[in-house]
Amino acid sequence: MIDPRRATWFTAAAIVVIAGAAVPLAGVSIAALIFFILLCTRRPQLALSIWMIAISFLPIWVATSGFATVPISTFVALACVAVVGLGGAKFSPVDGIVGALVLIAGLATYFAGSPPGELVNIVSLWVVSYLAGRILCAQIGVQRAGSIFAVVMSAVAVLAVVEFLFGWHPFSEIFMPNLLYEIWSPIQERGGVARSEWAFGHSIALGGSLALALPFAITMPAPLLVRVACVSALFAGVAVTFSRSALISMVLATALVILFSRSASAGTRTGVAALTGVAAIVIVPSVLAVFTTAGDEVTNSGAYRGDLLSTIPYMNWLGQSAVVQISPTGFRTYGRFVSIDSALISVGLDFGLLLAISLGALYLVPIVRTLTRRANVAEIALAGQLPLILTVAFITQWQALLWVVAGFAVSGAIKSSRIVTNGFLHEPSSRGNREFARSIPT
């Protein structure tokens, strides 16, 4: 009798050999795809790990060209969902709201002049990331999904520190003939110091992504030394981006975990507070020295963001604002502003007030749930991003990771809402459902 698994491997090898003989590059691509499928089938944790690595190590400009520019990491996300399957994912009203946001963006594009490229961005980076995060997290749980995210981002943080110490910027040299490469590949400086960006194309995008992982690193079910190492790495990684918004988000996320997390023990809270104090003593002097050297650069940057509020009266309810101008090469300007450093204002100018207000209202949900102690760790991570949402447009991989974590948050909220005791909602403890079930009075 033929072993099905062995037959599958022989078939895959034959396809690779035949394709490789005809077109070597096709053979390599097919080999990678088949290997991925065989490796990740029914292994959602491995699939999520590969996807997170793809997001973190493939710059946004490594993308398809032609009709639409779509990052390769988006195709990795779709492949993950395809090989893993829908599993235990259940429909949530939030899924419908996300669908409504896409519908609004589509109407604004087809009937009110919003840029088609930004609609592609919403679908490929927002929606795909959200759905893949929802589906994978539904199968493995928020705790495991968040732990994978935290570990990958901790590794990225270590590499960002190495990038800063040695002036080594490997991804800026990866050339692609597209506009994204022109925009995001140059390395930023602050006060004459090159800032770490790793593969994220912008120091703020890197810093925001590392801050987003902090709550997961603090609460993940790992030995104390592992958690301390991950949290320390994330602190250092954010510091070498020299991004004020990311640093503030890092502090806010840490404070929210200490004050409002249901999954962090008293010992964890105390330890994190102590570690934060030590990190402040080590990091703050160096960061302040760079900010002081930067001088007017930092002051002008803050004033520029404040002036962006003057664009709100020029927004339409649906569609692109008249102040948006697109050059023949594809660069956009907004009246007297070269860029819009605010996520909601940027969305409002490109798609209209209806989408910006709807998106802002949706973002209030994790903030309110965090402050009322009903949030899971993914919701706390999203709430900690408030400074970045207010001062940074949706850029590069940071926007994708925001929607990944949003998918985690919704899947976690659905799972925890099924567990009800004494009329209150409770999230399973880190010891698992069995220990939680024993605590229910009978």
Percent of the chain past pLDDT 90, that is, above it, reads 52
Of all helices (H) and strands (E), which one includes residue 325?
Answer: strand 324-326
Q: How confident is the model at residue 293 (pLDDT cuts 50, 70, 90)?
A: low
| Domain that includes residue 272, residue range | 92-414
Encode pLDDT of 169-220 as tens digits.
999 988 988 889 999 999 988 878 889 999 999 999 999 999 999 999 999 9
436 domain residue, yes or no: no
User: Of 269 and 69, which is predicted with more confidence?
Assistant: 69
Q: Grade residue 262 by pLDDT with cuts at 50, 70 and 90.
A: confident
Does residue 14 lie in a domain region?
A: no
Q: How far apart are the first and last CA of the chain?
A: 52
Burial of 258 (0-12, 13-18, 19+ CB in 10 A): middle
Instruction: Give the chain's mean pLDDT.
Output: 82
Quick one: tokens of 73?
């990491």
Identify whether 9 is part of a domain.
no
Q: Where are the alpha helices (DSSP H) in 122-178?
A: 128-166
Query: In the predicted model, is pLDDT for residue 1 greater than 50?
Result: no
Q: Indicate whether 53 belongs to any domain.
A: no
Give the number of other Cβ atoms within 10 Å of residue 286's Cβ.
13
Here the tokens at position 264 are 């962090």
H or E stretch covering 190: strand 189-190
Residue 269 lies in a domain: yes
Tell me which of 14 and 380 has the higher pLDDT.
380
**56 CB contacts (<8 Å, ≥6 apart)?**
152, 153, 155, 156, 198, 199, 200, 209, 397
What does the pLDDT look like over 48-80, one tens digit per residue? 998 999 999 999 998 887 667 889 889 888 888
Reading the block at residue 147, the tokens are 């732990």
Q: Which residue has the higher pLDDT, 291 or 203?
A: 203
Residues 43, 182: Cα–Cα separation, whole Å: 37
* Residue 48 placed within a domain: no
Average pLDDT in the 164-170 region?
93
Domain contains 311: yes
Kindly indicate the confidence band of residue 156, based on its pLDDT and cuts at 50, 70 and 90.
very high
Residue 286: per-residue pLDDT? 67
Q: What pLDDT, in 10s, does the model give residues 345-382? A: 999 999 999 999 999 999 999 999 999 999 999 999 99
Residue with tokens 């390769």: 72
User: What is the rounded CA–CA span in Å between residue 287 and residue 290?
Assistant: 5
For residue 206, give the H/E element and its range: helix 203-219
Identify whether 24 is part of a domain. no
Tokens read off for 427: 């999230």
- Total number of domains constituting the chain: 1
